[in-house]
Amino acid sequence: MGVQRLLAATMCVSALITPTLATIYWAGIDESGGEFAPGVLPGTFGVDYAFTNNSAVDIYVKESKVFLPSSNSIIENRIKLLTRDFVLSKVNLFRVAFLLERMCPLEYGLGSKFNETYFKYYKEAIDHITLTRGAYAILDPHNYMRYNDASEQPLSGSVIGNWSDPKAATTQQFGEFWGELASRFRHNEKVIFGLMNEPWGTNTSLVLKNDQAAIDHIRAAGCEQLILAPGNDWAGGHSWFDNGEDSNANVMWKLHDPIHNTAFDIHEYLDVDFSGSHVDCVSDPRIFLSNLTSWLEKHDFKAMITEFGGSNTTGCYDMLKVLVDYMEENPVYIGWSMWAAGT
Ligand SMILES: *[C@@H]1O[C@H](CO)[C@@H](O)[C@H](O)[C@H]1NC(C)=O
Ligand SMILES: *[C@@H]1O[C@H](CO)[C@@H](O)[C@H](O)[C@H]1NC(C)=O
Ligand SMILES: *[C@@H]1O[C@H](CO)[C@@H](O)[C@H](O)[C@H]1NC(C)=O
Ligand SMILES: *[C@@H]1O[C@H](CO)[C@@H](O)[C@H](O)[C@H]1NC(C)=O
Ligand SMILES: *[C@@H]1O[C@H](CO)[C@@H](O)[C@H](O)[C@H]1NC(C)=O
Ligand SMILES: *[C@@H]1O[C@H](CO)[C@@H](O)[C@H](O)[C@H]1NC(C)=O
């Protein structure tokens, strides 16, 4: 999600205590931070960006308490996180954002050559979550299916694989990038590969092609972990059938994973335009996810909702509870992570 959504989307989940985790195997939070200050490259670790706060991760996992700091001291002073402590039961998942232009500096281009310093910081965060604490981590390139200019995210940058844009990285490069990243975590079964945050403003067939290239390279590298593949249109669940011929519903079923361990990555905010930027929660997920749910059942796919949220109003608490219950009652949903905690 874009930074503009953060204010409204930091939220309280105290209404969500003790869910019966019937079909939900993963539940947790989104760790925003590695993608911060996207216009500053390479940026300084701990100043412009950071991944996770290990002590906070420990608290989430050990006490099942989601802690939000009173202010985000590090990066965006316009982001004011709420001061309350939030409680979730069974936090076992962290979705950790990073910026592609930092992992693959522009002088190298998108692909298998990484900035090893940035990777080392990232791996330390992932290893702490997974190896030290035993929770799961979703690797999240927070790039909107774009690479080369993240300065005005989510608006700037060339869509990966767009052959009519000479500055764009290719689908092949995206595949090679994922093959390399995945292979570096091949032996860590607690890692989940989130292919891309919120593709938008491109052809759904291209999103499919890029997703497919990533899956093919990950599997070719011998990695068998769960993959989360996004559709187009900000990964929205409510809009899965929008855009006619080019809808996610019409195109994304063609995705193929040779070992059948890929789920769709869905984002669903509950405000009036599903953007997560308004205080009131008015978009009932039971209504707006129903078509996606049927589609998943029909095509025998699963999904994880890796971004959702609402403000700290009573109406939002109630509707967030509705959404979590809805996911528990519908076995096509296998997990979720909620936006957001900063570093
Ligand atoms: C990290 O989290 C701990 C525990 O929540 C908190 O006390 C500390 O201030 C945090 N550190 C930073 C740099 O935000
Ligand atoms: C790699 O990252 C480090 C740490 O941020 C930075 O000092 C260095 O300049 C980066 N290298 C490239 C090629 O971007
Ligand atoms: C997008 O779709 C349009 C219409 O089908 C097509 O002309 C164009 O080549 C496509 N572009 C890409 C990059 O997929
Ligand atoms: C490809 O890039 C061109 C030029 O920037 C743009 O007009 C077009 O919409 C893009 N197409 C896709 C499918 O992203
Ligand atoms: C679900 O699909 C039906 C049939 O195409 C459509 O009439 C309805 O508006 C859709 N529901 C939502 C909430 O988009
Ligand atoms: C909700 O958040 C706003 C903005 O941070 C704050 O002023 C307000 O006191 C909060 N309300 C509750 C009920 O926590």
- The band of 90, judged by pLDDT with boundaries at 50, 70 and 90, is low
Mean pLDDT for 315-322 is 85
Closest ligand by atom to 284 CA: 5
SS3 40: coil
What's the rounded Cα separation, in Å, for the pair 259 and 55?
Answer: 36
Mean pLDDT for 38-42 is 96
Mean pLDDT for 193-216 is 98
What's the rounded Cα separation, in Å, for the pair 332 and 293?
Answer: 7
Determine the pLDDT at residue 262.
94
Residue 196, CA distances (Å) to 69, 193, 317 in order: 27, 9, 28
Mean pLDDT for 271-281 is 88
- The band of 63, judged by pLDDT with boundaries at 50, 70 and 90, is low
Query: Largest alpha-carbon pair distance within the chain?
Result: 52
| The pLDDT of residue 76 is above 70 | no
What's the rounded Cα separation, in Å, for the pair 56 and 46?
Answer: 15
Q: Which residue numbers are catalytic?
A: 198, 307
Determine the pLDDT at residue 287.
96
| Domains identified in the chain, total number | 1
- The band of 288, judged by pLDDT with boundaries at 50, 70 and 90, is very high
CB contact at 8 A, 121 and 45: yes
305 Cα–ligand 5 center, Å? 20
79 Cα–ligand 6 center, Å? 14
CB-defined site of ligand 1, < 6 Å = 53, 55-56, 59, 67, 69
pLDDT tens-place string over residues 183-192: 999 999 899 9
Query: Which of the listed residues 287, 291, 298 should we mutate to test ligand 5's pocket, taking the one with most ligand atoms within 8 A of CB?
Result: 291
286 Cα–ligand 4 center, Å? 35
- The band of 86, judged by pLDDT with boundaries at 50, 70 and 90, is very low
Percent of the chain's residues with pLDDT above 70: 84
- The band of 101, judged by pLDDT with boundaries at 50, 70 and 90, is very high
139 Cα–ligand 2 center, Å? 20
Determine the pLDDT at residue 170.
98
Q: Is the peptide bond before 341 cis (omega within 30 degrees of 0)?
A: no
Determine the pLDDT at residue 318.
84
DSSP state letters, 243-269: SGGG-HHHHGGG---TTS-EEEEEE--
- The band of 178, judged by pLDDT with boundaries at 50, 70 and 90, is very high
Q: Which CATH number goes with the domain that contains 197?
A: 3.20.20.80
Burial 211-242 (b: 16+ CB within 10 A, else e): bbbbbbbbbeeebebbbbbbbbbbbbbbbbee
What's the rounded Cα separation, in Å, for the pair 284 and 291?
Answer: 13
The domain in which residue 103 lies consists of: 3-341
Query: Does the beta carbon of 165 sit less than 6 angstroms from any atom of ligand 4?
Result: yes
The neighbour count for residue 274, using CB atoms within 10 Å, is 19
Cβ burial, residue 84 (10 Å; 0-12/13-18/19+): middle
| The pLDDT of residue 175 is above 90 | yes
> Which of these ranges, 23-32, 128-137, 254-263, 324-333, has the smallest mean pLDDT?
23-32
Query: Does the beta carbon of 244 sit less than 6 angstroms from any atom of ligand 5?
Result: no
